[in-house]
Amino acid sequence: MKHFAVIVAGGSGSRMGGDIAKQFLNLGDKPVLVHTIEKFLSLSFPVEIILVLPAAYKEYWKEYCFKNRLTFRHTLVSGGITRFHSVKNALKHVPEGALVAVHDGVRPFVTREFIEQLYELASESGAVIPVLEPTDSMRIMKEDSSVIVKREEYRMVQTPQVFQSDLLLRAYEQAYSPVFTDDASVVEGMGVKIHLTQGKVLNIKITKPEDLLLAGAILSVS
């Protein structure tokens, strides 16, 4: 069975500020996105990478690869107006009868072992996502007030989310809905059960300046 990885890096990075999208900010001696891609290239089996970028950054990426002699094979596609549309663009390059992981380009600390574990779980269950239990107290907002909730009833969702491609391709035939915040929610839109597995605390998503500081600290001890 073939393995595919859709790496979604189609955001503009507005929450990060600055002149460059967050996925291209340096973490150590290379961009965040390159760290992420290298984790998939390190797998013990071949994986076909589909990279989703903002259209305005495609030439930037090509020039970066040329200057830094990055010659790994990958398919480059343009991001859409939402994450749903970005992933849908990428899935045009994924066949049936495969396993496909969808991963945030700004989660550079996912490990090879964890990725391989998720592929294996998806081959058995069809759809698997990593989650973490919240450690802070949580409240739900109700107009101008808030109410405490039971945090043990909630989970924080990570990527990569891994699916049998037949399932994911069928799910993305649905019309877009604002409730589709990730791939699992799209698959659930067909009434399919999503299987949860324990996520990793260090599998952080870099979206704000302080996240980049934390990432630098993690990199220095890894």
What DSSP line would sit under the chain, residue for residue?
-EEEEEEE-----TTT-SSS-GGGSEETTEEHHHHHHHHHHTSSS--EEEEEE-GGGHHHHHHHHHHTT----EEEEE--SSHHHHHHHHHTT--SSEEEEEEETT-TT--HHHHHHHHHHHHHHSEEEEEE---S-EEEEETTEEEEE-GGG--EE-S-EEEEHHHHHHHTTSPP-TT--SHHHHHHTTTPPPEEEE--TT-----SHHHHHHHHHHHHH-
pLDDT digits (tens, 9 = 90+) for 164-211: 999 999 999 999 999 999 999 999 999 999 999 999 999 999 999 999
- With pLDDT > 70 as the criterion, what percentage of the chain qualifies? 96
Is the distance from CB of 119 to CB of 160 less than 8 angstroms? Answer: no
> How much is the mean pLDDT over the chain?
95
- With pLDDT > 90 as the criterion, what percentage of the chain qualifies? 92
The predicted structure's pLDDT at residue 56: 92
Measure CA 135 to chain center. Answer: 22
The average pLDDT across 25-40 equals: 96
The average pLDDT across 37-56 equals: 97
pLDDT digits (tens, 9 = 90+) for 50-107: 999 999 999 999 999 999 999 999 999 999 999 999 999 999 999 999 999 999 999 9
The predicted structure's pLDDT at residue 143: 85
Structural domain boundaries in the chain: 2-130+157-221
Q: Does domain 2-130+157-221 have CATH number 3.90.550.10?
A: yes
Flag whether pLDDT at 14 surpasses 60: no
Task: Band the pLDDT of 16: cuts 50, 70, 90.
Answer: low
Distance CA 56, CA 66 (A): 17
